Every structure is written in structure tokens, then in C-alpha cells.
Structure 1
Amino acid sequence: MSLIIEPGEDQTSSGEYVKHPGDGKLMAHVPEGIFLAGEDDEPVWVDDFHIDTFPTTNADYARFCAATRHPVPEHWEGGRCPRELYDHPVVHVTWRDANAYATWAGKLLPTAEQWEKAARGTSGRTFPWGDQKTAAKCNVRETGVEHTTSVSRYHSGVSPYGVYDMVGNVWEWLATATTPSRYELRGSAFTSPLFRGVPAIPNDANDTMHDDDTGFRCVASPEQMQPRKR
């Protein structure tokens, strides 16, 4: 079953969401084609894929930990996430934790090109919502929230493909390595200023780093969107 959201002005997608057969999360389709990438807006081809509409939440991650006995984030008191944070992005996860979740779900972490296209669309916009420096459309330092928020809170800040929180809330781990044992992060967080969240600008960290402002989301190839055989 698909949830259809009518496209707004300058959208490059119909905003169709489908549930992934593995973890059941809603995913948005990003069609194949060229987009303008990086600070110089270089044309780059990306094959079609689906990306999680929302970052991986604490509730999502709790199901993964229960199914696999993977260690829970160390800040969960008594090994349980507080109920009021179920729909907030999971934090204090390393790249290795994020990759383990993706493997369990039958997905992948996004490459830098996939993540940037999902955030910016094809026409080189600066932010998911356009070129305006509008901090109110996301959870960054200027917003003044000072902690994570529900992943569905910032409706006006969605990307051209209907993807939430591509700027702010938490930094997101990517599959793209910068050096051995270091991987890209993008999107900024509630702890960082808006300009750090420009999707074309990369960050990176060691694969064992974890913090209260770092999480992830996953992507899936067309093959990974097919129902699993029993």
C-alpha cells in the first residue's frame, strides 16, 4: 500500500511512500538520473533507489536490538528507551551499529551521492526546501530546541522527494569512506548551526564514534524492495 502526497512547486517526485519488506519503515523513491552534486554543482548520475522517509528512530532500533541481541545505546537507562523518545532519531550509534542495523533490515547505508540527491533534488537547490536560509524549517542550533525532536515534526523542511530531517536533528552516517575506518556524515544536527547542514558539504568521523547528535537512515535498491522469500 502506498501513501501518496501531492507534489508541491518545483518537486522532482510524486512523493510516493512504500513500506520496506524488512523493517517496515516508509521509504521514498528517488528515480534514476543526473543531479547537481557538491558545492560546484557537478552533474552526477545515480541509479534509482528508495530512502527512508525518516531517520531510524529509537523504536526502530529497539526492535532491531530485540531481534538480534545487539547492544542497546549506552544512555538508555535500564536498557530501555524512554517512551517519549520512541519517535525521535536514535543516537549514540557508531557507524558499525548503523551498518549492522542496515544489514539486518535488508538495506544499506546511503552513499554520499544517494543521500545528497535525496536531500537536494536534481536542480542544485542549497537546502531541501530551496535556497532560503530558514532555520525554522529544521532542528538546528538557531532553532533553540537543544535536543532531538520527533522525526516527523518539520513538515515544511522536507526534500523534493518528501524526505524528512535531511537538515538538522541528527548527523547521519553514510556508506562513503573518507579514509580507512572513517566515514562521511551529513545533514547537521540540533547542536550545529544551519550552514553546517548544507547537504553538499561533507563531514566525517571514525567508525567507532558515537554522540548524542549522530544517527542514520537507510536506502534500498530495487531488488531490496522485493518481498522476502519465506
Structure 2
Amino acid sequence: MKVIRIKYFLSKLNIKIYQTVAIFFVYLTLSHIVNAQIKHSPTHLSKTMAFVPAGTFIMGSTTGAEDEKPEHPVFVKAFWLDILPVTNADFATFLNTHPLKNIQGETYYDDRDADARIHLVSSVWLPDIGYENHPVNEVSWIGGKDYCHWLNKRLPTESEWEKAARGLDGRKYPWGNADPQIKFARYDAPFNASAPVDAYPDGASPYGILDMAGNQWEWVSSMYRAYPYQEDDGREDQQTGPIRVTRGGGHDSNAQEITSTHRGRYLSRNPKAGHHNIGFRCAKS
């Protein structure tokens, strides 16, 4: 009788052991899946953002180019903006989780251009060595828009971008009214000679946002239209079509093109094409 009880006890013990082991392996599997999802989720990849409070600022310039006129007040709702532009390493991560084109056949990134800094290596998109932390180039407006959407963000409007760059005091450049110097921004540089996105801390905007002058032009959500800026006049229609505004100037821009009010009027702004000196950053309401 005792032998039977012992065998029965051992059989129950084995069942419990098997159950425990099975539960343990299920736990490990689920943990692996969850950790993988967290690692590759947009939230995990998001950059530090700066808060720009709601309020009215003066947009435009009385002394700039014709398309910067007239100066006019614009109310901007509170929002967040990436402190740093999107880098080549950031966008390579996006390309490794998305096809090169959207479902409409519109290209996100022009990797065929000789100026591109991201390339397909053994079926993996990789930033060129030494350019991982440089602002992404050759990305289309569509690519920027969909990248931001992937992170539950969006491209900033033209008015948001300008307010974030110059604040409320009407300054000419993000750092103030002092003339550009090499400690403030990357400009007057050779073709396709960008710099790391965090190379110019002295050029920060009033909200602590970096690289808003020079280094790489930045796509914004807005269509290129005459002032005054009105958010509800159709210029914020997000369907691909008319040319889009680019802001901030690039590494190969002159000092006049890196002001906080300059709108890149001479720059190619085809939203379906990438360019050697246009990148972007994301905003969030």
C-alpha cells in the first residue's frame, strides 16, 4: 500500500514538475516576444523632445526675402519638437522595418543617389561609417511624414518650426541676433559635408532645440504658399502634391539662408524626391 502511495505521489510530483517547466518556458517565450516588441517599438526609438508652450509669436520678417513678408502674428498651440534632427542611423532603423516605398509607390529614400548616406548591405540598411549621427539626407517629404507617423508623431507645421527656432523675441537666428559663427552652426561648407547633429550646442534655440540653423534643411508639413500663414487655408493638407516648405538652411547654405525666417525659396522641394541637403525632425501635439 505504501509503495502504491509513493508511486502515486511521485507521479503527481512529475506532473507538477512538467507543468512548472512548461510554464517557465512559456514565460521565457512571452518575455522574449514582449522585449522584442519594446526594443523595436516606435516609443522606444523616440528622441528627447522640447516643449514649446502655446501662445502668439511674430512670424516672418520685414528685412528678409519677399516670401518672408509681411510680419504677422500667429497663434500656435502647445506642442513638442525633437531636440535633434532625425539621423542616418534613425532612418536606417525605419527602412529595416518598412519597404522602400509606400503602398502608393512613393519612395521614402533615394538610395540610388550618389549623395545618400544609407545603403543596403547584405539585405540590411546601414548608415555609412562615420555618418551614423549626421542628419539624414535624401529622404523625401513622404518619407519624413511616414517616419514621424511610425513614431506616433508628425512633421511640424511651418509656424511651429519658426516659433521653436526664434521664440517670442523675434530673434534672427536660433541663438539670437549675433552674426553666424562656426561655433553656432554648420554653413558655408562643401557639398554634402554635413556635421553630427549635436555638434553645435551654442546654436540652441530659446527652447534648447539644436541644429535649427544650417547643417541640413528640414521638411515641414506645410505647402509653400504666400503669407500670412493660416493653418486652415489648405496649406496643411497632407496629401502628396504641391511643393513643401523647407526650413533652417543646410551645410552648404550662406549666412542669409540660415535665418529663422528663411523659407528655402530657391531650393528644390519636390515632396516625392530626396535631396542631398534636406532632412527633418518630428513634432507631437
From 23, 35, 43, give the equivalent of 1:21.
Answer: 43
Distance in 1 (CA, whole Å) between partners of 2:142 and 2:54 is 28
1:52-71 mapped onto 2 (5 Å cutoff): 52-70=82-100
C-alpha distance in 2 between matches for 1:81 and 1:92: 12
**Richer in strand (by share):** 1
Question: Corresponding residue for 1:140?
Answer: 187
Deviation at 1:22, TM superposition (A): 5.9
SS of residue in 2 equivalent to 1:114? helix
Distance in 2 (alpha carbons) for counterparts of 1:42 and 1:99: 27
- Answer 1 or 2: which has greater helix percent: 2
Q: Deviations over 1:163-202 (max 9, x none)?
A: 0000000000010012642100010001110111111121
Report if aligned partners of 1:93, 1:210 keep a CA contact under 8 Å in 2.
yes
Q: Residues of 1 paired with 2:280 and 2:139: CA distance? A: 8
Q: More deviation in 20-29 or 102-111?
A: 20-29
**CA 1:23/1:181 → structure 2, altered by over 3 Å: closer, same or farther?**
farther
Secondary structure of the residue aligned to 2:43 is coil
By how many angstroms is 1:43 displaced? 2.0
- 2:195 counterpart of 1:131: no
The answer to whether the 8 Å contact 2:144/2:219 transfers is yes
Which residue of 238, 245, 260 corresponds with 1:184?
245
CA RMSD of aligned residues (A): 1.9
Aligned to 2:271: 207
How far apart, in 2, do the equivalents of 1:120 and 1:30 lie?
A: 11
Match of 2:281 in 1: 217
Q: What's the TM-score once normalised by structure 1's chain length?
A: 0.81
Higher Rg of the two aligned structures:
2
**Partners of 1:201 and 1:191 in 2: CA distance:** 15
Distance in 2 separating the partners of 1:200 and 1:162: 18
Q: Is 1:193 matched with 2:254? A: yes
Report how far residue 73 of structure 1 moved.
4.5
Listed one character per residue, the Cα deviations across residues 188-226 of structure 1 (whole Å, up to 9, x for unaligned) are 0011101111111212511123221110001001xxxxx
Paired residues for 1:70-149 under 5 Å: 70=100, 73-74=110-111, 75=116, 76-77=118-119, 78=121, 79-136=125-182, 137-141=184-188, 147-149=193-195
Q: Is residue 22–residue 106 contact of structure 1 (8 Å, CA) maintained in 2?
A: no
Which residue matches 2:9?
A: none
Q: Unpaired runs of 5+ in structure 2?
A: 1-41, 63-70, 102-108, 226-240
Q: Deviation per CA, 1:80-111: give whole Å up to 9, x if none.
A: 21231111101001111111101111111010
Q: How many residues align structurally?
A: 201
Is 1:46 aligned to residue 68 of structure 2?
no
Whole-Å separation in 2 of the counterparts to 1:152 and 1:202: 23
CA contact (8 A) 1:64 1:70 kept: no
Deviation at 1:55, TM superposition (A): 0.4
Aligned to 1:153: 199
SS at match of 1:151: coil
With the length of structure 2 as denominator, give the TM-score of the two structures. Answer: 0.66
For 1:148-177, what per-residue CA distance to the aligned partner results, in whole angstroms no more than 9, with x for missing partners? 111000010000000000000000001001
- Segments of structure 1 that go 5 or more residues without pairing to the other structure are 1-19, 222-230
